[in-house]
Amino acid sequence: MKILIVEDNKDKLGAIVDQVRSAKPDIEITTCDVLVDFVAHVNKEKFDLLVTDLLLPVVRGREPEDVTLNIIEGARGFDSLNLQTPVIAITQFMESAETNYQDLNRHDINIITYSSESEDWKEPFIKKLFSCTPKVKYDFIIICALQKEADAYIEAGYTKAKTTIQHGLSCNEITIDDFTGLIIVPPRMGLVNASIVSARAIDLFEPHVICMSGICAGIEGKANIYDIVIPSQCDQHDSGKWTDEGFVSESYSVPLEHGIERTIDKLIKQKDLLDEIGENIVLNRAEMIGESGNLDINIYLAPTSSGSSVIADDSMLKQVTAQHRKKNAFEMESYALYEAARQSTLKPSYFSAKSIVDNGDSQKGDNYHRVAALISAKAVYGILKRLL
């Protein structure tokens, strides 16, 4: 946030700057003390807030005079860079404010009465300061259903463990080259929380891309442990209704947008991306597939499905695979992210890339979670780096 303050009284200027610093230490403050410098600044640079006095010297060496009309002309002229920038006039000379009240009001310039012997001016000034704070936007958002999936970005060296709460969301900032994003972990896993958090993140941060990494289950015979699957189409496998004859599925589907699908398909076939994903990953014995300590990376586009419950039962697995025979993998959140992005008026690009840790049967375990979360994070990071 950038503020311009024009004030010729050093004590008053110091009090205003102190209030700004105490409220928002990271604000960029530009100060000047004469009208001509104010006009030069507003004609050269766009600010988020203008703070002015109404009695100022026009140039250095002159006595202060009523410059209200000059302030209005400089800030509200049709060719001004700051035509829509909020303006606060902080004055201790109410005669000038009262004389020019109609002009100030007509041009949406707020007046605050200042006194060095009172603190009444501080609260309305701080409220206005916060209301002028520009919306924080991010280039990309990564949703992780589990904290261990988000921690994989720390293990990979892409970010540090520094969780912040933004608008009630648990966030960790991450950069890719010159682009800044957030890793967001919903309060709970599953479709409901993923859809709420994804939709809120899109509206709050207006990312160009929203995506998801993590772990998933594969369908035996169609996908192997550690395969990274990017849903070309994601269904909700538990939508439908219960009847006297049992559950009748009614599939809802969201495909990848055609352009992003073609781009990702091209990216995942590049050898340098596969090399990046597998680089510096060491498997312990329990994480190995069979006797091999080598990690064979496969990443591909395929139909998948999402549901509200974890599947760890052979009979439920058969039911899901019977209903969705063309699917390669299933999990609990990707459909929610795809649908939130599809319905958003902001239309961000979206994708998910999750790594398989089991077949969704009674043999489920945690042995492969660390490596799967790690290679999924590295795949998403690599794809984002090339997309952005």
Domain holding 44: CATH number? 3.40.50.2300
- Work out the pLDDT band at 163, boundaries 50, 70, 90: very high
CA distance 101 to 97: 6
Percent of residues, the chain, with pLDDT higher than 90: 67
For residue 151, the SS3 value is helix
What's the confidence (pLDDT) of residue 78?
85
3 CB-near residues (< 8 Å, 6+ apart): 20, 27, 28, 29, 30, 47, 48, 49, 50, 51
Per DSSP bridges, beta strands 49-52 and 55-56 are: unpaired
What's the confidence (pLDDT) of residue 37?
96
Residue 319 has pLDDT above 60, yes or no: no
What's the confidence (pLDDT) of residue 131?
86
Q: According to DSSP H, which parts of 138-190 are helical?
A: 147-155
Instruction: Among 113, 131, 149, identify where a domain stops.
Output: 131
Instruction: Among 96, 131, 166, identify where a domain stops.
Output: 131
Per DSSP bridges, beta strands 349-358 and 228-236 are: antiparallel
Residue 325 · residue 271 · CB < 8 Å: no
For residue 163, the SS3 value is strand
- Work out the pLDDT band at 330, boundaries 50, 70, 90: confident
Q: 198 and 158 in one domain?
A: yes
Q: 126 and 147 in one domain?
A: no
Q: 147 and 34 in one domain?
A: no
What's the confidence (pLDDT) of residue 291?
74
Residue 36 has pLDDT above 50, yes or no: yes
Percent of residues, the chain, with pLDDT higher than 70: 91
Q: 246 and 144 in one domain?
A: yes
**Which whole number is the average pLDDT over 117-126?**
92
CA distance 89 to 29: 16
**Which whole number is the average pLDDT over 105-120?**
89
* pTM, two decimal places: 0.74
What's the confidence (pLDDT) of residue 104?
86
Residue 96 has pLDDT above 70, yes or no: no
Q: Which two tokens stand for residue 99?
A: 């004389």
**Which whole number is the average pLDDT over 46-56?**
93
CA distance 59 to 32: 11
Q: According to DSSP H, which parts of the chain are helical?
A: 10-23, 35-44, 68-76, 94-99, 101-106, 122-131, 147-155, 191-205, 258-267, 271-278, 314-323, 334-343, 369-387
Q: 175 and 121 in one domain?
A: no
**Which whole number is the average pLDDT over 240-269?**
85
Instruction: Among 74, 107, 131, identify where a domain stops.
Output: 131
Q: What does pLDDT average to over the chain?
A: 89
114 CB-near residues (< 8 Å, 6+ apart): 12, 90, 91, 92, 121
What's the confidence (pLDDT) of residue 219?
86
What domain range includes position 349?
140-387
CA distance 47 to 181: 24
Report the CATH number that the domain containing residue 326 is assigned in CATH: 3.40.50.1580
What's the confidence (pLDDT) of residue 362?
47
- How does DSSP classify residue 292? B
What's the confidence (pLDDT) of residue 105?
86
Closest CA to 379 of 216, 206, 211, 217: 211
Q: 219 and 78 in one domain?
A: no
Number of neighbours of residue 72 by Cβ within 10 angstroms: 19
- Work out the pLDDT band at 328, boundaries 50, 70, 90: confident
CA distance 70 to 36: 10
116 CB-near residues (< 8 Å, 6+ apart): 11, 12, 15, 92
Instruction: Give the tens place of pLDDT for each residue, 62-93.
Output: 999 999 999 999 999 888 899 999 999 998 87
**Which whole number is the average pLDDT over 106-127?**
90
**Which whole number is the average pLDDT over 357-378?**
84
